[in-house]
Amino acid sequence: MADFRKQLYDKYHSTFKQHYIKDGFISKKSEYDYFRLKFLPLIRGYNTNSSILDLGCGQGILMDFLRKSGYTNLQGIDISEEQIAIAKKSILNVKVSDAFAFLNGSQKFDIIFALDFVEHFYKDELIRLVEIIFDHIAPGGCLVIRTPNGNAIYANKIIYGDLTHLTIFNHSSLSQLLNLYGFDRIEFYETGPIPKSIKGLVGFILWKIIRLIFNMIRFIEVGQTEKYLTQEFICKATNPNLIVDKL
Note the pLDDT tens digit of each residue in 93-118: 999 999 999 999 889 999 999 999 99
15 with 99, same domain? yes
246 lies in some domain: no
**φ and ψ at 77, to 5 degrees?**
-135, 150
One-letter identity of residue 119 = E
State whether 118 and 200 are in the same domain.
no
In a domain? residue 43: yes
pLDDT tens digits along 57-99: 999 999 999 999 999 999 999 998 988 999 998 878 999 999 9
> Could you give the number of structural domains in the chain?
2
Shared domain check, 136 and 85: yes
User: Quick one: average pLDDT of 208-220?
Assistant: 93
Mean residue pLDDT of the chain comes to: 88
Confirm whether 245 is domain-assigned: no
- Bigger pLDDT: 112 or 203? 112
| Domain shared by 132 and 46, yes or no | yes
Say how far apart CA 71 and CA 46 lie, in whole Å: 10
Please indicate, yes or no, whether residues 106 and 29 belong to a single structural domain of this protein: yes
In a domain, 247, yes or no: no
For residue 91, being part of any structural domain is answered with yes
Average pLDDT over residues 203-228: 92
208 shares a domain with 124: no
pLDDT at site 131? 96
Distances (CA, A) of 115 to 144, 207, 208, 223: 7, 23, 24, 33
- Residue 129 falls inside a structural domain: yes
- Tell me: do 41 and 138 sit in the same domain: yes
What is the per-residue pLDDT for 15? 63
Q: Verify that 43 and 61 share a domain, yes or no.
A: yes
pTM: 0.87
Q: Alpha-carbon distance 184 to 217, whole Å?
A: 33
Rounded Cα–Cα distance for residues 192 and 147 (Å): 13
Rounded to whole angstroms, how far apart are CA atoms 132 and 32? Answer: 29
DSSP state of 16: I
Helix (H, G, I), strand (E, B) or coil at 60: coil
Nearest to 190 by CA among 158, 241, 232: 232
Cβ(110)–Cβ(144) under 8 Å? Answer: no
pLDDT tier at 232 (50, 70, 90 boundaries)? Answer: very high
Both 179 and 204 in one domain: the answer is no
**Domain carrying residue 222:** 194-229
Give dist(CA 127, CA 44) in Å, integer: 29
pLDDT band at 17 (very low <50, low <70, confident <90, very high): low
Q: State whether 117 and 207 are in the same domain.
A: no
Question: Does one domain contain both 152 and 204?
Answer: no
In a domain, residue 243? The reply is no
Whether residue 121 is found in the same domain as residue 173: yes
Q: Within a domain: residue 244?
A: no
Q: What is the CATH number of the domain that holds 79?
A: 3.40.50.150
For the chain, give the percent of residues with pLDDT over 70.
89
* Predicted pLDDT at 18: 54
- On the question of pLDDT at 22 being above 70, the answer is no
Q: What integer pLDDT is reported at residue 236 of this predicted model?
A: 98
What is the mean predicted confidence (pLDDT) over 38-62?
Answer: 96
> Residue 247 above 50 pLDDT?
no
Beta bridge partner(s), residue 237? 143
The conformation of residue 243, written as its DSSP 8-state character, comes to P
Distances, alpha carbon 164 to alpha carbons 76, 100, 121, 129, 172, in Å: 20, 17, 8, 17, 22
Output the DSSP codes for 112-169.
EEEET-GGGS-HHHHHHHHHHHHHTEEEEEEEEEEEEBTT-TT-HHHHHS-TT----B
